[in-house]
């Protein structure tokens, strides 16, 4: 949907201009804030002065000066605002053949637009609309419809960008959770099977990932390699067995996963600075 051509193909009506039925600056009557109402037109509302909170069936939409809000056709809503400071808006009421397709992608509750630059661009378009209140000729009216269309498409563009951004964030979060879970599963397996012969290929097959990916993820999530973790496990367990006097050095080596006593002793000395035999004695 990020490709504009695919949007045009899926929703050809978006290329059609909306039909503007009325527009103009409005100062809301305090009584208006007390009643729910439905409009037979779609409402495009640009806040000039004051703050409004529009109660929609599924939530609330808040607008401040400079914000632009949308209320779909035939939507029951109420405009709450401070009756002392008042509320002044520039409202465009229009009908559009593409409205249902449009609001499938643009959620009113996602407005107003957060981007300052885009909001400023839209404000300039509203200034042009306010300057052209007298439709005059059919060409003038067509130009007004074109400007409203531009505003609607700018809102659509930002909605699609936000959707893509949130999708990318969700994908990133999922990847982080997956990597963390993979590392924890690998650690759990090593904790339970450190006394057995373990290879990277074997562990990767068991976890249904590639050896390279497993090694990369474990190092990234733990700040040390998978086999450094395994060696740490084996050495700590070996020291505990030797200090407890459980068997000779060969027995201890086999108990923590080393078949070669000489290699075990070499690793142990490097790890603790003393041989396993000296530690036991």
Question: Identical fold at 4-167 and 227-280?
Answer: no
Residue 256 DSSP label? T
Contacts (Cβ under 8 Å, ≥6 apart) of 77: 36, 37, 38, 54, 55, 56, 57, 71
Q: How far is CA 36 from the centre of its chain?
A: 34
- In the structure, what pLDDT confidence band is assigned to residue 4 with cuts at 50, 70 and 90? very low
Kindly tell me if the per-residue pLDDT of 5 is higher than 60.
no
Mean pLDDT, range 233-259, rounded to an integer: 90
All structural domains of the chain with their residue ranges: 4-167, 177-224, 227-280
- Record the tokens describing residue 230, joined without a space: 């395994």
Kindly tell me if the per-residue pLDDT of 203 is higher than 90.
yes
CA–CA separation, 247 and 63 (whole Å) = 76
> Per CATH, the architecture of 4-167 is what?
Sandwich (2.60)
The model carries a pTM of 0.63
The CATH T-level fold of domain 227-280 is Arc Repressor Mutant, subunit A (1.10.10)
Q: Under a CB-based contact definition with an 8 Å cutoff, are residues 245 and 279 in contact?
A: no
- Locate all alpha helices (DSSP H) within the chain, ordered by sequence: 4-10, 99-105, 116-131, 138-193, 200-207, 211-222, 226-243, 249-255, 261-272, 276-280
Kindly tell me if the per-residue pLDDT of 145 is higher than 70.
yes
CA–CA separation, 48 and 50 (whole Å) = 7
Per-residue pLDDT tens digits for 62-94: 999 999 999 999 999 988 888 778 899 999 999
Per-residue pLDDT tens digits for 43-63: 999 999 999 999 998 889 899
Helix, strand or coil, per DSSP, at residue 79:
strand
CA–CA separation, 101 and 11 (whole Å) = 7
Q: Under a CB-based contact definition with an 8 Å cutoff, are residues 99 and 39 in contact?
A: no
Residue found under tokens 């559009």:
96
> Cis (ω within 30 of 0) for the bond into 73?
no
pLDDT > 70: what percent of the chain? Answer: 93
CA–CA separation, 168 and 148 (whole Å) = 30
Which residue(s) pair with 47 in the sheet?
89
First to last CA, the chain: 72
């Amino acid at each position: 949907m990020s490709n504009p051509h695919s949007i045009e193909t899926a929703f050809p009506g978006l290329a059609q201009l909306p039909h503007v039925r009325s527009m103009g600056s409005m100062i809301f009557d305090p009584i208006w804030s007390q009643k729910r109402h439905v409009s037979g037109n779609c409402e495009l509302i640009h806040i000039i002065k004051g703050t409004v909170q529009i109660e929609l069936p599924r939530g609330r939409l808040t607008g401040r000066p400079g914000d632009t809000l949308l209320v779909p056709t035939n939507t029951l809503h109420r405009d709450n605002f401070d009756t002392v400071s008042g509320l002044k808006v520039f409202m465009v009421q229009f009908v559009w053949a593409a409205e249902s397709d449009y609001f499938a992608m643009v959620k009113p509750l996602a407005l107003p637009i957060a981007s300052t630059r885009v909001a400023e661009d839209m404000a300039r378009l509203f200034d042009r609309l306010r300057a052209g209140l007298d439709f005059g000729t059919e060409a003038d009216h067509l130009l007004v419809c074109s400007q409203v269309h531009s505003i609607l498409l700018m809102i659509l563009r930002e909605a699609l960008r936000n959707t893509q951004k949130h999708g990318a964030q969700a994908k990133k979060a999922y990847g982080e959770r997956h990597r963390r879970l993979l590392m924890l599963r690998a650690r759990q397996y090593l904790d339970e099977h450190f006394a057995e012969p373990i290879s990277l290929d074997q562990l990767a097959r068991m976890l249904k990932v590639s050896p390279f990916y497993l090694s990369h993820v474990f190092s990234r999530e733990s700040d040390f390699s998978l086999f450094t973790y395994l060696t740490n496990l084996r050495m700590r367990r070996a020291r505990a067995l030797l200090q407890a006097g459980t068997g000779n050095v060969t027995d201890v080596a086999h108990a923590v996963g080393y078949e070669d006593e000489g290699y075990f002793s070499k690793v142990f000395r490097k790890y603790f600075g003393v041989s396993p035999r000296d530690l036991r004695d």
